[in-house]
Amino acid sequence: MCEGCGCGSEKLVHGTISRIGQPWGTEELVSKSHGYTIKRYTIKQGASPDAHTHERETHTFYLVSGLVKLEAGTHVDELVEDFLHAGETAEISAGQIHRLTAIHDSVVIEIAAASSALGACHHTHEQEDGTVVTHSH
């Protein structure tokens, strides 16, 4: 029996969702395992995380609710834009610069799949002031 909440499940494993407040909304870490991460983003209308890239991860976005503008490309000054409606998905290849901007308050599920054959993941983004920052994990 589950000792976490007394729900009676014989095999259910309970975890805690990590929630981080961001200037553009909230970021929730739903699951992280070898090779993938699942996050839930709540993005406020008109807000946007910085344009960024992941050199060794492919991202799939699933829009649960709202409407977002998705910009993607190989150079931050030449991003191609499209719109993602509720129920639609989009895939961003490793190394592709991308940014989501909420047209309406939006909820997005992100599934990031890393290739262990490529080594550590490097996350690079350009801040609003033009500064480029790189993190490794």
Percent of the chain, pLDDT > 70? 72
Mean pLDDT of 29-45: 92
pLDDT tens digits for range 52-89: 888 888 999 999 999 999 999 988 888 999 999 999 99
SS (H, E, C) the chain: CCCCCCCCCCCCCCCCCEEEEECCEEEEEEEEECCEEEEEEEECCCCCCCCEEECCEEEEEEEEEEEEEEEEECCHHHCEEEEEECCCEEEECCCCEEEEEEEEEEEEEEEEEECHHHCCCEEEEECCCCCEEEEEC
Q: What is the pLDDT of residues 85-111, one digit of tens each?
A: 999 999 999 989 999 999 999 999 999
Taken as a whole, the chain contains a residue count of: 137
Structural domains in the chain plus CATH codes = 18-116 (2.60.120.10)
- Mean pLDDT of the chain, nearest integer: 81
Q: What is the mean predicted confidence (pLDDT) over 32-49?
A: 92
Residue 80's pLDDT is 94
Whether this model's pTM surpasses 0.75:
no
